[in-house]
Amino acid sequence: MDYYTRDIKKSDLDDIHEYMTKPEVSKYQTCGVTSYEETKNYIDEMLNRDEHCMFNVIVDADIDKVIGSIQLEHDMNNKSGEIEFVIHPDYWGNGIATDVANTMIKYGFKVLKLNRIWAQTHINNTASEIVLQKLDMKHEGILRQNVLLDDEYRDTLLYSILKEEF
């Protein structure tokens, strides 16, 4: 399967809404996209993001369908950035998240000259944790009950990689 990344467009609404509202995706997300209108607002927010947020959609080149996204929000004062990714469940297990995240990390270190890139994931999101480990990110710790999601506090795993480790 071929895929590529590109800037988000308003016309990506249906594809993004499809995967963002899948229960297996939304159970780990804090952005709370559940309605079509919320997906539209999310896209508008990404289209109007500032220069400190790199955001691309991931497209299945064979059928020209958006199947996920990758984001690097960076803090130039501290030379650090947080990476986030979401993949449509139909495409899980194909190495896509690892590949695009690795490219984004490389961009963060080589072009943006960041010193540290970090990620956080729900403590039960094993697939995401495996991706972070494949990226050679180090487990830094657990943020205990740091997020309130669906009326329950959740723990978050924290991972990072330093420029010297990449």
Q: Give the model confidence (pLDDT) of 10-63 as tens digits.
A: 999 999 999 998 888 877 776 656 789 989 999 999 999 999 999 999 999 999
Multiple choice CATH, 3-165, 1.20.1630.10, 1.10.3720.10, 3.40.1020.10, 3.40.630.30: 3.40.630.30
pLDDT in tens, 94-109: 999 999 999 999 999 9
What values do phi and psi take at 2, rounded to 5?
A: -100, 145
- Asked whether the predicted pLDDT for residue 127 surpasses 70, the reply is yes
